[in-house]
Structure 1
Amino acid sequence: MKRILVIGGSRYFGKTLVSRAREAGDEVTVLNRGSGAPSPGVGRLVADRDDEEALRGALGARDFDVVVDQVCYTPLQAAVARRVFAGRTGRYVMTSTMEVYDPATLPAGPLAPDTAPGTTPAPGSVPVPVPVTEASLDPARLPLAGAAGRAPGPWPAYVYAEGKRQAEAVFLRDPAFPYVSVRAAHVLGGGPAEFTGRLAHYVDRIGAGTPVDVHEAPYATSFIHHHEMAEFLHWTAEQTFTGAVNAASHGASDVIALGEAVAAQVGRRPRYRVVGAGADASPFSFDRAYAMDNGRASALGFGFGHVADWLPGAIAETARADG
């Protein structure tokens, strides 16, 4: 049994993580701003994580075996957590994202010793896409955005991917505790619980016969089911490894394959509209490669499922929710 603190944990796979840990016999506490009461048997702390004094006050003298941070989006939040939880936890797991690898959001300059995410050199030809490994990005080599760990300029203009990269960088600088960043693939499933609406975008448009915007040659991307994501986070909390780890089901898929899977569930052929180079398209159409390699997690002992096994059910669940 472990004493686990989940920061966030009030919705989607964070909520499922809390239930899984409780069912496994762990002593679970949730910390959030009061957005939702946890289930019976789960402790609750209320504080704004950005307010260091309030966070310390809510924690009191408590310490934990593991902290799972579901809602760390900025280097400022990471800096506060690093100070507050130093000496209070034996392990810190931050839920990060595959978007940290996105070439479209990476700052200029070398970030890793080898090639850019998503490519590998082929003699006599242009680079070809390959699944990115954790070594494709080393946040410790990123320049931190200010002494306080916050980006210059207004925060709303600071992109999600760079916020996550910078948060990882803060935790990696002079580590205060054993640290893991779980770089999650696109999480699907759960019907209305999947609050981003990305899968519903395809279900709604294909079901209505509305064209789906795609790139001329879209790249594959990585997915993971929300139950599998919760299971992976709980498994990671129980392990001892550190560093970045990719979390993705086997079988990267591009937007055309996704469209075909949706069509099979809604009974209507998809229509596509090709967008120009550099233009925005539908949520899972990408003109760049950064699908993830899950080999590290697999080698450490986690058994991922296959996208093809759970995607039809996730689509059907979304279609039912849409009515």
Structure 2
Amino acid sequence: MTKTPVTNGTVIEISVTGTALLLKPGIISGGPITHDCPLSRSVGYFLEPLVLLAPFSKKPFQITLKGITTDDQDLSVDLFRTVTLPHLQPFGISDGLELRIKKRGAPPAGGGEVQFLCPVVKQVKTLNFVEPGKIKRIRGIAHAVRVSPQFSNRMIEASRSILNRYIPDIYLYSDVYKGEESGKSPGYALSLLAESTTSVLYCAEAVSQPGVAPEDIALQATRALLAEIEKGGCVDRQHQTLVLLMMVLSSEDVGRCRMGEPTPRTIQFLRDVRSFFGTSFKITPADPLDKESSQLLYSCYGTGYINANRTLA
């Protein structure tokens, strides 16, 4: 793959004092791209904005990112593949949407590699997602690189010791990489997701830390998942901004989505949306009669954004 920029014609100017930044966005070109991510952040940090840009590019995305695939700051590539990408399907972005994990890379040295493939769309569909449903199954991936393969089994057993009390349909997959595919540093992590009867996805994960046993990492991830399920809604806290932006860019109709309370990041995002698009969300209690419920109904009128740059090849 050739090394080309994600956009064509973008200009970034930083003031002399370093306190102001002027950005003139260019055309999202897409196509085959390769990028070596710095080891200060994981691949997930870079995938997050790319997921938002890729559907509106000129050509379908084929981007390869190299670096750390799982850390304690950003979403891991496992959750991007199993949770983030499915959130795009209700908006009509599905065919050809894929994230391939070729190599895993734990901090600090990394060495991982993933390939993100995304199709081009003309316009995204309007979302109407207000029924959270009941949890029907829980899935998970316990991966271990450059450590004993038993670490992943220990995490699975510890997580099951809690999850088995709530639901019978549980499948936790042990994913052990060896050789060059295991990156340059030892590490392990557990990524969990719960799916409801209405295709709502909740996710949580925990990453290895020095001096912390695999069992404790698994319990941390499991309790985080149960806390996410308790907050309810149709979108978990990790993906609020993704869904809200797609609602703003959707066709000219009223989109609705049920979520939990907005995170501080989501609140700032809503302010930015109002500044950039002039769109404000109407936020009302999802269950007005239930005083204990913290779930909210987010609704907005789509801008009807059309991807005029796409090429049909």
| TM-score, length of structure 2 as denominator length | 0.27
More helix by share: 1
More strand by share: 2
